[in-house]
Amino acid sequence: MLYFVGLGLGDPKDITVKGLEIVQKAKRVYLESYTSILAVGKEKLEEFYGREVIIADREMVEQDSDSILQNGAEEDIAFLVVGDPFGATTHADMILRANQKGIPYKVVHNASILNAIGCCGLQLYRFGETVSIVFWTEDWKPDSFYDKIKINRNNGHHTLCLLDIKVKEQSIENLIKGKKMYEPPRFMTVSCAAQQLLEIIEKKKAKGDENLAYTEDTICVGLRKIGSDDQKIIAAPLRRMATIDLGPPLHSLIICGDLHPIEKEMLELFVEEKGCLDACSPVESTV
């Protein structure tokens, strides 16, 4: 059996009882290490599980999945994923590959950023489509997610922005030369994401676009290390979010839509500027 085991968002103890039982009996245990990270390293996991944990990086998962699936029909294999196993499409691809090989699978779910963001007080059913924001370079500044944010905002919905993670990435130069040398890990901050979002609307303004998806005064929520003991949440206008140092990764960013009265009251717990929520578009209270 191939088991996909969600680890949650905090530390080794966030694994479910069912997940821990699977890990302790499995023949091999892999930790997917590139769609997200835990606040602790694999050594802490090994200490808590009492098992060796094999790091499965992007190259292994996407190009050498056969090594993970080997003997999967005869042995139990545990594939550990930070958050929930279905928080990334890569894992659906692994299920399809396992199915082609006649390997049965089971999934053990856990908390992910997609539901844990409710801790800031915004109601989960009032979120629109989630978007990803990647690191820009001097000559590559993709902004296709802007249209999705605009649709969400026009519908009054909030937008969760998942921020870029660069782990075991190669430079263009090393790729061309075929060198297996990797860049230091990088994790996008809320301030970096906010700066890029502001640059997008400045370009839209320069082209005469008056119907912007958001403005510099749009309320956003910055979240750090949700699920850990030192998680942090700040609600602020986008212009202010671009200057905030929220601390060590991982970060997430929410662009707010219309605010329900209870959502607004909850966000007041996390604001730096009193009164900054006053201009937010309200929705009718249904409670």
9 close to 116: Cβ distance less than 8 angstroms: yes
Non-local (6+) Cβ contacts of 78 within 8 A are 3, 5, 22, 23, 26, 28, 29, 30
Q: Cβ contacts of residue 240 below 8 Å, gap of 6+? A: 272, 273
Inter-axis angle of helices 17-25 and 42-49, nearest 10: 90
Quick one: tokens of 264?
């607004």
Hey, is 81 helix, strand or coil? Answer: strand
Q: In 10 A of CB 89, how many CB atoms?
A: 8
Among positive and negative, which fits the CA dihedral 30, 34, 35, 39? positive
Contact 2, 80 (CB under 8 A): no
User: Is 259 flagged in the annotation as binding?
Assistant: no
250 carries a ligand binding annotation: no
Q: Is 163 annotated as a binding residue?
A: yes
Q: Quick one: tokens of 230?
A: 């030192």
For CA atoms 174, 178, 184, 189, give the dihedral sign: positive
157 is in an annotated binding site: no
Query: Tokens standing for 192?
Result: 């970096």
Asked whether residue 87 is marked as a ligand-binding residue, the answer is yes
User: Is 113 annotated as contributing to ligand binding?
Assistant: yes
CA distance readout (Å), 178 to 170, 171, 172, 175: 10, 10, 10, 5
- The Cα 237–Cα 198 span in angstroms is 11
For residues 164 and 261, give the distance between their C-alpha atoms in angstroms, rounded to a whole number. Answer: 32
Show binding-site residues for S-adenosyl-L-methionine. 9, 84, 87, 112-113, 163, 251
